[in-house]
Amino acid sequence: MAILLKQATALVIDDFQSMRSMLVGFLKAMEVASIDSAAHAKEALGLLATKKYDIVICDYSLGQGQNGQQILEEAKHKNYIGYSTIWVMVTAEKTMDMFMGAAETRPDDYLLKPITEAMLEARLNKLIEKKRSLEPVEKAVKSKDYQRAIALCDELLKKHTTGTQEIQRIKSDLLITTGDFSAAKAYFESILAVRSMPWAKTGLGKVHFLAKDFARAKEIFQEVLEENKMYLEAADWLSKTLDAMGDLEQAQNVLSKAMELSPNAVARQKNLADAAYKNGDLDLAQASYEKAIKIGQYSVYKSSSTYAGLAKVLTAKDDPEEALKVLDRTREEFKGDPEAALQTAVIEGMAYQKMGDPERAGEALAAAEELMRSQPAGVSAATTMDMANALFKLGKKDEACSLLENVVKNNHENAGIIKMVAAAFEDAGMGEEGGELIRKSSQEVVNINNQGVILANEGKFEEGIKLMRQALQNLPNNDLMLTNLCGMMIGLMSKKGKDDSLIFEARELLERVQKINPSNKKYSAYMSILNKLAPPA
């Protein structure tokens, strides 16, 4: 193991020169091959983006700006680190808020100050062999060759190597990523048959959720929290499950309790704000959005939708002037972000409407419509819904209906979004008319897909591809159509041979699918076929 340490690359992140020097000195004494250091988050993330490190030793408190937890979150979010990187969080703090926040980002180890060389070396030696063994799995995942990654996990598990639980977690995550829910379910159950562990039980609940068995998912997540109330990933999934079941009030309660235990989770705070807004609890929604903005200032989860949410709540609370101030701040914070510009224009329209200024409201929504046309594939269903609601209030019924029709066609299998569309029609006093529009729009998408499937079954792949490409010009976010088009391209290549341009296009389609619906069952299968046809560079 000492040999592995001598071959390692390491990064030390600490704002105090004396502490950096001490930690670098410890690593030099261990004869670590390459050691870099950074005094602040920007410098650290710059290094992590350009160089692979085997070991990162990061102080939790780094003064102004991002803390160690937020650097780790961003490094994971941007794939700067993988399974094989050791991340050791160093801290002098012992507060529950710090511990819960840091624990949720799952560093490999913690070290409480004061630190000695012997202490650090013992921890690194304990981790380095296990982490190095994960390098081939990490490489396969980066190549999106998930079946290969699962096979490598099985090989490691057969060797009874160290870190069995981490390998089991990786394998189970990969089974979910590939959409093989039955295999994932069986795997979680086999682990739980030996020992009840919250991560495995939560994973089993996720499988039931993804398979739309919400009742069983709810039971499992509740069991996890009854056995271990600090396992907050289960709380997040329980809230999501309750939301899917239409129990919005309980979904909000679950998030409120979780925030009491871990008050620095930015994404969860935003979800609580969204839930409170949906429930009409505007005071809690305002407080939660404000807190999410505050704690997320330096987080990778800082989002323009949080600012837009706060402005929307202020407008609903008859304070549109304050909402406009929030929107001005949004423009400053998210300069050059087209989605932020669109969200801002939409909520601005709502605020002017509330102020009784239909002319300026109309101008803002016209600007929003222009922005929407410029990014047809990048507009979220939530922003489109806000836009439609604002247009209804301005009396622009046809424009609003057209937007909602597009939302339905792009999400015809998403029950939650269809429910929100139906509610928008109800609010506009068009429940019956809206219900008919939803039915017809959904059927239209089904008919196009069926037509494409018939053509593919008849071996008429070129005609099917032409049909799907045309349909996707108007429905760029329909993951069913995207995967069907990809399947037809693969079918055509199986008939006529490999085509690099089709492989390139199919990979782009699958990237879009993964963003829209990460649990799409066909994603992994199609990506594996493409990787066999042309291994990724």
Considering the chain, what is the average pLDDT of its residues?
Answer: 91
pLDDT of residue 113: 87
Q: What are phi and psi of 55, to 5 degrees?
A: -135, 130
Report which residue type is found at 456. A
Kindly tell me if the per-residue pLDDT of 3 is higher than 70: no
Report which of 319, 317, 364, 318 is spatially closest to residue 341, judged by C-alpha positions.
Answer: 364
pLDDT of residue 415: 78
pLDDT of residue 528: 81
Please give the average per-residue pLDDT across 45-59, as a whole number: 96
Kindly tell me if the per-residue pLDDT of 467 is higher than 80: yes
146 to each of 79, 191, 212, 278, 508, how far by Cα in Å? 16, 21, 23, 37, 17
pLDDT of residue 492: 94
pLDDT of residue 377: 66
208 to each of 181, 188, 241, 348, 516, how far by Cα in Å? 8, 11, 10, 40, 20
Report how far residue 271's alpha carbon sits from residue 254's, in angstroms, rounded to the nearest whole number.
11
| Max Cα–Cα distance, the chain, nearest Å | 75
Kindly tell me if the per-residue pLDDT of 376 is higher than 80: no
pLDDT band, very low/low/confident/very high, at 104 (cuts 50, 70, 90): confident
pLDDT tens column, 407-448: 999 888 877 788 889 989 999 999 999 999 999 999 999 999
- pTM of the predicted model as reported, rounded to 2 decimal places: 0.84
Please give the average per-residue pLDDT across 324-344, as a whole number: 94
Tell me the angle at which helices 232-244 and 248-261 cross, rounded to the nearest 10 degrees: 170
pLDDT tens column, 174-219: 998 887 889 999 999 999 999 999 999 999 999 999 888 999 999 9
Report which residue type is found at 408. V
Percent of residues, the chain, with pLDDT higher than 90: 72
pLDDT tens column, 248-290: 899 999 999 999 998 889 999 999 999 999 899 999 999 999 9
Report which residue type is found at 536. P
Report which of 428, 421, 352 is spatially closest to residue 384, judged by C-alpha positions.
Answer: 421
pLDDT of residue 1: 53
Please give the average per-residue pLDDT across 46-72, as a whole number: 94
pLDDT band, very low/low/confident/very high, at 344 (cuts 50, 70, 90): very high
Cis peptide bond upstream of 114, omega within 30: yes
pLDDT band, very low/low/confident/very high, at 99 (cuts 50, 70, 90): confident
Question: Is residue 273 within 8 Å of residue 285, measured between CB atoms?
Answer: yes
Bridge pairing between strands 55-59 and 9-13:
parallel
Question: Is residue 61 within 8 Å of residue 3, measured between CB atoms?
Answer: no
**Secondary structure string (H, E, C) spanning 404-456:** HHHHHHHCCCCHHHHHHHHHHHHHCCCHHHHHHHHHHHHHHHHHHHHHHHHHH
Instruction: Find the DSSP H helices in 57-195.
Output: 68-77, 96-104, 117-133, 135-142, 146-158, 164-177, 181-194
Please give the average per-residue pLDDT across 347-357, as a whole number: 94
pLDDT tens column, 485-511: 999 999 999 999 999 999 999 999 998
Please give the average per-residue pLDDT across 304-321, as a whole number: 96
In this predicted model, which residue has the larger pLDDT, 99 or 460? 460
Instruction: Find the DSSP H helices in 134-163.
Output: 135-142, 146-158
Burial class (CB in 10 A: 0-12, 13-18, 19+), 4: middle
Please give the average per-residue pLDDT across 89-104, as a whole number: 77
Kindly tell me if the per-residue pLDDT of 2 is higher than 60: no
Report how far residue 7's alpha carbon sits from residue 438's, in angstroms, rounded to the nearest whole number.
60
pLDDT of residue 432: 93
Please give the average per-residue pLDDT across 369-386, as a whole number: 84
Percent of residues, the chain, with pLDDT higher than 70: 98
Question: Is residue 179 within 8 Å of residue 519, measured between CB atoms?
Answer: yes
pLDDT tens column, 76-88: 999 999 999 999 9
